[in-house]
Amino acid sequence: MSDQISFDEFLKVDVRVGRIVEAEDFPEARKPAYKMRIDFGPEIGIKKTSAQITKHYSLDDLVDRLVMAVVNFPPRQIGPVMSEVLTLGVPDDEGEVVLLTPDKDVPIGGRLY
């Protein structure tokens, strides 16, 4: 079993629902990836990120899609992109990322509890 954390530590991780408003190819990335802008509502705003999700998603699949992302990590430089959030996903049987998404339409900015 992995290291355990307390519930209070878990609550420090701010996971929110966002809507992808823009997605484009990221040719400078070492592995195939997309650059995205995700809207988390008026409290957080629109944030930039990148994700290695090209196997399961086309650019057209991504715009308007709801996703889950960690919004309180410090920004991280990924090539020429300053990633402001970590979009969440899990690997399939081949190790390709499948995005975590709400299964119902929910307001953007909603926090995971």
Query: pLDDT tens-digit profile of 24-74?
Result: 999 999 899 999 999 999 999 999 999 999 999 999 999 999 999 999 999
Residue 105, SS3 per DSSP: coil
**What is the C-alpha to C-alpha distance for residues 89 and 96, in angstroms, rounded to an integer?**
9
Domains in the chain, CATH or no CATH each: 14-99 (2.40.50.140)
**What is the C-alpha to C-alpha distance for residues 105 and 64, in angstroms, rounded to an integer?**
11
Tell me the helix, strand and coil percentages in the chain, rounded to 5: 10, 40, 55
The pLDDT, as a whole number, for residue 1 is 60
Residue 94, SS3 per DSSP: coil
> Do residues 38 and 27 touch, judged by C-beta distance below 8 A?
no
pTM to 2 decimal places: 0.93
pLDDT over 90 (residue 2): no
